[in-house]
Structure 1
Amino acid sequence: MKIYSTFMGITGAAIASVFLGACSGGGISVGAGTTAGIDGSAVVSRGTITGFGSVIVNGVHYDTSKATIKFDDNPGVESDLRIGQVVTIQGTISDDNPTRGTADQIVSKSAVEGPISAIDTAAGTATVLGQVVHVGADTSFGAGLTLASLAVNDVIEVSGFARADGSIDATRIERSSSTTTGEFEVKGIVQNLDTVAQTFAIGALSINYSTAAIDPELGNLQNGLSVEVKGTLDAGVMQATSIEPEDDIASLVSSAGTRLEIEGIMSNYNATARSFQMGTTQVVFTTTTRFEDGTQANLADNIKVEVEGVLNSNGVFQADKIEIEPNPSIEIEADVQAIDANAGTLAVLGITVHVDPLTTRLEDKSSGADNSPSTPFSLASLRVGDRVEIRASLDASGKAVATRLERDDPDSRVTLQGSVDSVAQPNLTILGVTVATTSGATQFRNIDGTAMTQGDFLSQAQGKLVKAEGTLNGGTIVATQVEFEND
């Protein structure tokens, strides 16, 4: 049985009633005593696939040898899984090693699938079925795709997490097998319900449900319900063929004590009540909840977090750990100079970057790369001279820790983004790397892309986030462009 939830205003009693009443069906249900291949504790985990061999989600390496796999309620196979897809895993985590687990079932569902109606490359957005999709440092693409290569009317499938305003932070974008006249899918909150006209809206998409098959578990449609809708487009209006409740991960658990691990974006944060939502799931925390990479003071709507906890005896997702995911402000595009697989590091532009195989998103984007689970990409796959693109952040000790590492095709240009350590006109230093600028050959850009003079730029650069592009001469970047970036 699937359970629905409203986006706001769920009472504690209602949560308890819904969560403890859940059982299996189109979603996942797991009891506290479930075991699967290893002795361990039952877990339901939702997050982004960051690596393979078998599948790595939320810092846990899951054995998938006996797992059932579904894509949008259809049977699937492991070879169809890709880096950046958001999946829900039901299984167990080892009691002896919390980074190892066994998956019984893996479910992947798109955030939206349909034709693109608008693209704004400057803003890094695309609009799909009336939903604004944000493309950024956490977005992986299917083979050969970038935001710039997509066009209006291209049909794409987007994995990702909902922001507080209902827009989507894309974690993966790929072309869909559907055509512009095919069946599409959208998730979101019911708004502007008109029971006479039998219409409602999700974001900017108008939906007619007069001929739709409505899941009985949904009950009567009402504003605020979180739903999944499939249908076709007719003059910009979705003619719904089916409507069902969007799964709340906590409602997929049938027994108190089952571990929950959820990655997502916060909304409806209430500091006084110590509560927030991640998608459709309500999270509560206490003064004893452990924070990583931040404190409660850092919590706010649209902050990306990973939450671990249990479904307590009252049926509420009680967080015992909240990890605030770092903003990967460092960007490096250059050739690998050295690799130490044992230490988990590589050197690029003279910068030592630390790679964690359980948390760094690893992907081979070079021509001909397979990127399927059967050919997992890792630090050991790299060779000196390989072209890489890295997104990273500095930890408390000042180390550069990669959140994402990609191998790319060869390129003579280099890119370095980071905070400016020092300025000695006409040069500046970023992460210890000298960036040489000249008034005639270097373009100087403000945050909004407008041109600046060399003097104005360098006078403001100290401590600011700057992206430098150019060529490498020894250990110095000879910049063709430097630009201020948003922190």
Structure 2
Amino acid sequence: MRQLKQHFHWALCATTCALSTAVLVACGGGGAGDTATQAPAAPSPTAPSASTASVVDGTITGFGSVVIDGQRFDDSLAKVAFANRPDAQTAGTLGDLRTGMRVQGELKDGVLQNLVVNFALAGTVGAVDAAAGTLVVFGQTIKTTATGQLPTVFDGFNALSQLAVGDLVKVSGTVAGDGSITATRIERKAKDGTEVFRLSGAVQGLDTTARTFALAGNSSATVSYADAKLLPTGAVIENGKLVSVVATAAPTVSGGKTVLAASVVEVKARKLPDSSDTTVGGPINDFKSLSSLRIGDVVVDASTATLKDGTQAADVANGAQALAHGVIKDGAMKADWLKVFKNDTAIKALLIGQITDYVSLANFTLRDTVVDASAAKFIKGSAADVAAGAWVQVTGQLTPTGVKASEITVQPPPADKPQRLAGAITAVDAAAKRFTLLGTPVAWGDATKVSPDGKSLANLAAGVTVSVEGTYSASSGVFTATAVTVVNTTGVAKTLGFSGIAFNVTGDSLQIGSYTVVVTPNTQLLPAGTKLADLVNGSRLSLKVSVTGSDGAIRLTAISIELQKPEKDDAGSEYVYLAGLVNDFVSSASFKVGSQKVDASGSGVKFIDGDTAKLANGAKVEIKGTVKDGVLIAKQVHFMPG
């Protein structure tokens, strides 16, 4: 993957990278952006002349490598953690990151060092109002939006109407002045007995004798902090202070009140460390004047700030999406500049990378983002070039379920690196010893190896599926094949492998993302002993499916379904899962999936449907393992079809 080595310099991308023309960029594990044929991406900030440290707090809006509120950051050194409990963070991977997550990042010279994912709420749904776009959890109202600068991203469902009372959800977002949460992402989770519950809001009705308080805008739940740990050390709970409350058990009725027994209370006023170079993004709340407002969870004084990119004082109002830069002292920001993203400006999404799961032009995945390109215009290449493994650049419109593409540019693979291309040939020029694969011209020569035995380059024709090893030259614009494997001819059934969070689960079908999968009596359920009743909404599943039909009526039928239950290693660390295409392969001890570093060299690694020799650039894998020092140490490597 191309290393960006960017400086944290927001002024350079004031126009191109602003959320009002938001850039959603995906690396996808390659360096497609290095080629001369790609459409220009958002400019990278200028590298600093001296070492600088800074902080960023905002919402993930894409990947390239990681995009926070429209700005790309080099993630080559990033360590990811999830603050499910603020007193005990859980290590994660770059592959766990998703659009809509609220994060806090520490940077050095613009390079992410540590990235912590924070949540505003976790609990069971008490009420849903799909028409109003709201739901209630433990008395707290969550607001969603399907349009605007930052649509709410859904995971494990596609619409609020699919949520039911009692469903477990985890919400990313910020607390508004009325106590409601403006959600940037909502995930439905399966109940497995390991749930941690959370509420966030401003303290009111504090009773220091009974050690209880309520949250603004929440008339249902009373928080007991009698046995709670207070964070950060030395923090004091006071009326009006913004807090995040974590509990290991759901609220219970006691003395006529619904009480949440807190195990941890985090006072959010000191959420960010003191810093002379901090950027915060999110909706404006608690606006009183330019000298007194809040962006996300951060109190901001913008009385002397420069209003940038056409922002007027009247634009600075509650609910507006904003970005501010300045100095953090004692948890509050003194802003030197502030800008508001105008709602009348359409968000432009930009995804650059390698397609993983392809069903049709209206339904494929690029860096864990579902893309509908059914109405897209091709700037370079054609629909025939779009398939699993293809390198593409997609521009379009952000939606709660992915990206609606308006333009596609088919790109060659990264230059001067060993690569593997696999797919159906679209054209052959035997005289020139070339064919076209995934939009890339491929040249063969007398030294090119052909397999299996009995096949020759004379067998090549449009529609034949091949796997090609070699390298791409940016200067010649040609991929030179060192080996060609003829996989099959036309008419052979296609199989696909993918994973995700299930919803709309019935006895004969289920959905993952935008994929509807038919379950039959012949579907193999894994691990052994798994029953259909074990597959519930919110379950994480890994599937192998057959794909039949045409673009107008495609049917996905499950060959096998593996239920991925929470597991821990001998040290008590929970296993994580990472799926995607291998890139930057050096050895089994050093390669990447997406932009996540992986080591699968351990003697105890279990390989499924392949062995260590099958690891190579372009191989589709799902890896189970644990994270150490930012590297995913593989316990299991499953080679997936598709």
Bin of the TM-score, shorter chain as denominator length: 0.5 to 0.7
| Residue 55 (structure 2) aligns with | 44
Q: Does 1:227 align with 2:243?
A: yes
The letter of the residue matching 2:91 is P
Q: Is the 8 A contact 1:261 1:309 kept in 2?
A: yes
Q: Does 1:238 align with 2:266?
A: no
| Residue 348 (structure 2) aligns with | 355
The letter of the residue matching 2:179 is G
Q: CA deviation at 1:286?
A: 3.9
Secondary structure (helix, strand or coil) at the match of 1:294 reads coil
Structure-2 change in CA distance of 1:247 and 1:65 (3 Å): farther
Instruction: Give the counterpart of 2:288 among 267, 270, 277.
Output: 270
Cα distance in 2, alignment partners of residues 320 and 293 from structure 1: 16
Q: Is the 8 A contact 1:164 1:266 kept in 2?
A: no
In the TM superposition, what whole-angstrom CA distance separates every residue of 1:141-197 from its partner, at most 9, and x where no partner exists? 114432110011101000112222121111111113555884301222221112233
Q: Does 1:111 align with 2:120?
A: yes
Structure-2 change in CA distance of 1:85 and 1:328 (3 Å): farther
The letter of the residue matching 1:133 is I
Q: Does 1:281 align with 2:303?
A: no
Q: Is the 8 A contact 1:187 1:246 kept in 2?
A: no
Secondary structure (helix, strand or coil) at the match of 2:314 reads helix
Q: Is the 8 A contact 2:243 2:268 kept in 1?
A: yes
Q: Is the 8 A contact 1:211 1:241 kept in 2?
A: yes
| Residue 75 (structure 1) aligns with | 91
| Residue 570 (structure 2) aligns with | none
Q: Is the 8 A contact 2:304 2:335 kept in 1?
A: no
Q: Does 1:135 align with 2:152?
A: no
The structure number with the bigger radius of gyration is 2
Cα distance in 1, alignment partners of residues 246 and 331 from structure 2: 30
Cα distance in 2, alignment partners of residues 81 and 182 from structure 1: 20
- Identity rate, percent: 31
| Residue 464 (structure 1) aligns with | none
Secondary structure (helix, strand or coil) at the match of 1:357 reads strand
Structure-2 change in CA distance of 1:287 and 1:190 (3 Å): closer
Structure-2 change in CA distance of 1:216 and 1:304 (3 Å): closer
Cα distance in 1, alignment partners of residues 105 and 76 from structure 2: 13
Structure-2 change in CA distance of 1:241 and 1:275 (3 Å): closer
Cα distance in 2, alignment partners of residues 381 and 90 from structure 1: 39
| Residue 481 (structure 1) aligns with | none
| Residue 323 (structure 2) aligns with | 306
The letter of the residue matching 2:211 is Q
Counterparts of 1:16-415 in structure 2 under 5 Å? Answer: 41-72=52-83, 73-92=89-108, 101-137=110-146, 138-178=151-191, 182-202=195-215, 203-204=218-219, 205-215=221-231, 217-231=233-247, 232-233=249-250, 234-235=252-253, 236-246=258-268, 248-249=270-271, 251-253=272-274, 255=275, 257=276, 259-271=277-289, 274-287=291-304, 289-311=306-328, 317-327=333-343, 355=348, 357=350, 373=367, 384=377, 402=397, 406-407=402-403
The letter of the residue matching 1:113 is A
| Residue 30 (structure 1) aligns with | none
Q: Is the 8 A contact 1:114 1:180 kept in 2?
A: no
Secondary structure (helix, strand or coil) at the match of 1:122 reads coil
The letter of the residue matching 2:54 is V
Structure-2 change in CA distance of 1:167 and 1:366 (3 Å): farther
Structure-2 change in CA distance of 1:38 and 1:133 (3 Å): farther
Structure-2 change in CA distance of 1:317 and 1:244 (3 Å): closer
The letter of the residue matching 2:183 is A
Structure-2 change in CA distance of 1:91 and 1:278 (3 Å): same
Q: CA deviation at 1:379?
A: 10
Secondary structure (helix, strand or coil) at the match of 1:190 reads strand
Q: CA deviation at 1:140?
A: 0.5
Cα distance in 2, alignment partners of residues 50 and 186 from structure 1: 24
Q: Is the 8 A contact 2:103 2:116 kept in 1?
A: yes
Normalization by structure 1: what TM-score?
Answer: 0.57
In the TM superposition, what whole-angstrom CA distance separates every residue of 1:242-298 from its partner, at most 9, and x where no partner exists? 22322645x413x4x3x2111122233233x63312244221224561332430122
Normalization by structure 2: what TM-score?
Answer: 0.44
Q: Is the 8 A contact 2:232 2:267 kept in 1?
A: no
Which structure 1 segments of 5+ residues have no match?
1-35, 94-100, 331-353, 359-363, 388-399, 410-487
Structure-2 change in CA distance of 1:189 and 1:49 (3 Å): same
The letter of the residue matching 1:84 is G
Q: CA deviation at 1:84?
A: 0.8
| Residue 565 (structure 2) aligns with | none
Computed over aligned residues only, the root mean square deviation of the Cα atoms, in angstroms, reads 4.1
Q: Is the 8 A contact 1:145 1:174 kept in 2?
A: no
Cα distance in 2, alignment partners of residues 191 and 372 from structure 1: 45
In the TM superposition, what whole-angstrom CA distance separates every residue of 1:14-39 from its partner, at most 9, and x where no partner exists? xxxxxxxxxxxxxxxxxxxxxx9996
Q: Whose RCO is larger (CA < 8 A, sep 6+)?
A: 1
Cα distance in 2, alignment partners of residues 58 and 326 from structure 1: 14
The letter of the residue matching 2:266 is E
Residue range with higher mean Cα deviation, 176-185 or 116-125: 176-185
Q: Is the 8 A contact 1:211 1:240 kept in 2?
A: yes
Secondary structure (helix, strand or coil) at the match of 1:321 reads strand
Equivalent pairs counted in the alignment come to 323
In the TM superposition, what whole-angstrom CA distance separates every residue of 1:312-348 from its partner, at most 9, and x where no partner exists? 8x99623232221222587xxxxxxxxxxxxxxxxxx
Q: Is the 8 A contact 1:157 1:175 kept in 2?
A: yes
Q: CA deviation at 1:216?
A: 6.8
Q: Is the 8 A contact 1:143 1:365 kept in 2?
A: no
Cα distance in 2, alignment partners of residues 377 and 37 from structure 1: 35
Cα distance in 1, alignment partners of residues 78 and 132 from structure 2: 39
